[in-house]
Amino acid sequence: MLPRRWPYQGNAEPVPRGAGLPSPFTDFTAPMSLRPTIDFLLNDWLAVESLNQRERFADHSRETFDAVLDTCERIAREKYAPFNRLVDTQEPRFDGEKVILPQATHEAHKAYADSGMLSAAQDHEIGGMQLPYTVEAAANSFFAMASVSIGSGLLTTGNANLLMKHGTEAQKRVFALNEFSGRWSGTMCLSEPQAGSSLSDVVTRALPDGADFASDPLGPRYRLKGNKMWISAGEHELTENIVHLVLAKIPDEQGKLVPGTRGISLFIVPKKMVNTAGELTGLNHKCGWRGTTNTLLNFGEGKYPVDGAAGAVGYLVGQAGKGLACMFHMMNEARIGVGLAATMLGMAGYHASLDYAKNRPQGRPISSGGKDAAAPQIPTSSACCWRRSRIARARWRWSFTAPAWWTSTTRATPRRPTRPVCCWRC
């Protein structure tokens, strides 16, 4: 049994019968929105305020958590929901040089970055809020429910969090902090066209870049050549730069790649250095999250040489050959985020379908003389209730005049049947 305070199981102020829930895609001002559910889950079920007893979250309270939720709900309502259909119909397109996105996408991304949610869980010293991940995830659910994806916040945060865990101090300062501020965005580049999700078949190569490759202040410097496929947010103009985290293999002394996943290393490959190092060759059309670019990236074709040489410049993260273990830090975070987004999109679809089923006009009331063409149409749900009630009441009345064999063979002691109701909504 769910508690009585569960928003959809007997609230103190239940939604009146027949008052449907407007679609969260288009209307965030509905009397019953996602907020009551979030409040119940955080405060009544998870008791999130108990986290404030921990030193890291001691500065927070119910008021600060509510303020974050209020801000994210407002941004989702004003900057995301009104353009949900727009980004679904006007997919990202590539003009041969850059990706074209609707202006609303740029405005939504800027509003999200300015809110501070990219660094919400980070330390105060680097501009974060030290917000519990539980509250951060709940706040982000408003965006997931309001849109089919505008921007790349999930990947940017995961990218920066990986670097905060496994990167050097210089990599944290140059790459991660710029991502948390919203100036740059991030991706993860794992799959390849010929290998799909089989990471043991990765063939992107990374060769030392010059004799002084190991002394670069941003980490050991390599030249990468290869292809990465299905890279979400791999190219756009939303931010000044894009930080790609790329899996590649360093050849052995014979120039051969180590088989399997043991030889995979992880590299930071920024889109822009002195010149662009990773170039976009085309866009893939997406079944879901159509507002996010999905790209095929070529590294090292030589179209944009760096220091006069072909190959995208990348900086080693962690130890050589241990890149997959580092990448799992971002992969696991992204899995949680994608799961949350999928759940919220499903919830949005449910509410949109419920609203449609409750309010779609269908049919007209039937009187003794048949349907009255002049009468206004009634909602589908009301028509359903009316038909069910007519059938149920007819059966109830028929039970009083049923033949003797029916009552004697089906009931030991004939009794008056319980008066029926029309359906669950009545």
Residue type, position 250, single letter: I
Amino acid in position 11: N
pLDDT at 304: 73
pTM of the model: 0.73
**How far is residue 41's CA from residue 175's CA, in Å, rounded to a whole number?**
35
Instruction: Give the three-state DSSP class for 180.
Output: helix
Cα distances from 135 to residues 25, 39, 48, 146, in angstroms, run 22, 10, 8, 18
Token couple for 339: 């799961």
Phi-psi region of 39 (alpha: psi -120 to 50; beta: other; left: phi over 0): alpha
Which pLDDT belongs to residue 45?
94
Please report, as a single letter, which amino acid is at residue 252: D
Which DSSP string do the residues of 88-124 spell out, in sequence order?
Answer: HHS--EE-SSSEE--HHHHHHHHHHHHTTGGGTTS-G
Per-residue pLDDT tens digits for 264-281: 999 999 988 733 333 544
Contact call for residues 381 and 425 (beta carbons, < 8 A): yes
Q: What local confidence, expressed as pLDDT, does residue 426 receive?
A: 42
Query: How far apart (Å, rounded) are the C-alpha atoms in residues 347 and 49?
Result: 26
Which pLDDT tens digits describe the chain residue by residue (426 residues)? Answer: 333 333 333 333 333 333 333 444 444 433 346 888 899 999 999 999 999 999 999 999 999 999 999 999 999 989 888 887 887 788 888 887 788 888 888 888 899 999 999 999 999 999 899 999 999 999 988 888 887 665 668 899 999 999 999 999 999 999 999 999 998 999 999 999 888 888 888 999 999 998 899 999 999 999 999 999 988 888 888 888 899 999 999 998 888 898 888 889 999 999 887 333 335 445 455 455 556 777 888 887 777 777 778 788 899 999 998 998 999 989 888 888 888 888 888 888 888 888 877 777 766 666 666 666 677 776 655 555 555 556 666 665 665 555 554 444 444 444 544 444 444 444
Is 130:123 a contact under the CB 8 Å cutoff? yes
236 φ/ψ angles, rounded to the nearest 5 degrees: -175, 175
Query: Please, what sign has the CA dihedral across residues 386, 8, 117, 156?
Result: negative
Q: Which candidate, 114, 33, 20, 74, places its Cα nearest to that of 356? A: 20
Assign residue 10 a region: left if phi > 0, alpha if psi is -120 to 50, beta otherwise? left
